[in-house]
Amino acid sequence: LEKPNQGRIIIGNDELMLKPAKSGELQAADIKQLEHLRARVGFVFQNFNLWPHKTIIDNIIEGPIQVLKIKKDQAISDAEKLLDKVGLLDKKDAYPANLSGGQRQRVAIARALAMQPQVLLFDEPTSALDPELVNEVLAVMRELAAEGRTMLIVTHEMRFARDVSSKVVFLHQGVIEEIGTPEQVFDNPKSERVKDFMASHRQN
């Protein structure tokens, strides 16, 4: 989604080969390798990005059938198990417009899991939700963390971040301000900016 200017992209033991573009940014040197690595990464967006014209079950099975080449019967069976996991099996024939924001985000998580990813990326998964719907999404994410799934989460949910993460990265104006364990970053930050932020958060 964003083209890097520098650095490396490594998923598991595989490093994405990069080359400079005319713009000065980096781009994939091998499109087939890029597609292969993309298939191993699930992405949950803050605005759900469900297809409005498809039922919930059809939203989930589209990727496995088209990309993973899974047979439809198997894809439906797998999707039903995932919907049960996120507490929405009874909504499988509904359309996204008939679900609350929290329910749609749980469907988006199930859809990402259906692609059997090695890594799950979450972009502010609760920021577009009404406050009373946030906890139902965080509960599903806590369960995934307890299963040992690798997740990279952009969030302002501080208590959640502290509870479930093994490593915390604090960003300020697009730059890494501090990185460490939850205990290091939340309780004993070195950066004055992070100290101020944590003090303000505790007051609130």
pLDDT value at position 202? Answer: 74
pLDDT value at position 203? Answer: 62
> 């990464």: which residue's tokens?
41
What average pLDDT is seen over the chain?
93
Q: Residue 203 and residue 159: Cα distance in Å, rounded? A: 14
Question: What is 9-166's CATH superfamily?
Answer: P-loop containing nucleotide triphosphate hydrolases (3.40.50.300)
Contacts 24+ apart (CB under 8 A), 3-11: 3/27, 9/37, 11/37, 11/40, 11/41, 11/118, 11/119
- The alpha carbon dihedral of 95, 51, 109, 123 has a sign of negative
Q: 55: which residues sit within 8 A by CB, 6+ positions away?
A: 92, 93, 94, 95
Q: Facing residues of 152 across strands? A: 121
> 């359309």: which residue's tokens?
95
Residue 83 binned pLDDT confidence (cut-offs 50, 70, 90) = very high
5-59 pLDDT, tens per residue?
A: 999 999 989 999 999 999 889 999 999 999 999 989 999 988 888 999 999 999 9
Q: Residue 21 and residue 16: Cα distance in Å, rounded? A: 15
The DSSP call for residue 85 is: H
Instruction: Locate the domains of the chain by residue range.
Output: 9-166
On the question of pLDDT at 123 being above 90, the answer is yes
142-162 pLDDT, tens per residue?
A: 999 999 999 999 999 999 999
166-196 pLDDT, tens per residue?
A: 999 999 998 999 999 999 999 999 999 999 9
On the question of pLDDT at 131 being above 70, the answer is yes
pLDDT value at position 116? Answer: 94
Write out the two tokens for 73: 């019967």
Report the amino acid identity of residue 28.
Answer: A
**pTM, entire model:** 0.88
pLDDT value at position 204? Answer: 58
What angle in degrees, to the nearest 10, is found between the helix axes of 101-114 and 72-85? 130
Nearest alpha-carbon partner for 119 in 14, 6, 4: 14
Write out the two tokens for 128: 């577009």
Residue 72 binned pLDDT confidence (cut-offs 50, 70, 90) = very high
Tell me the average pLDDT across 108-132.
93
Q: Residue 192 and residue 141: Cα distance in Å, rounded? A: 30
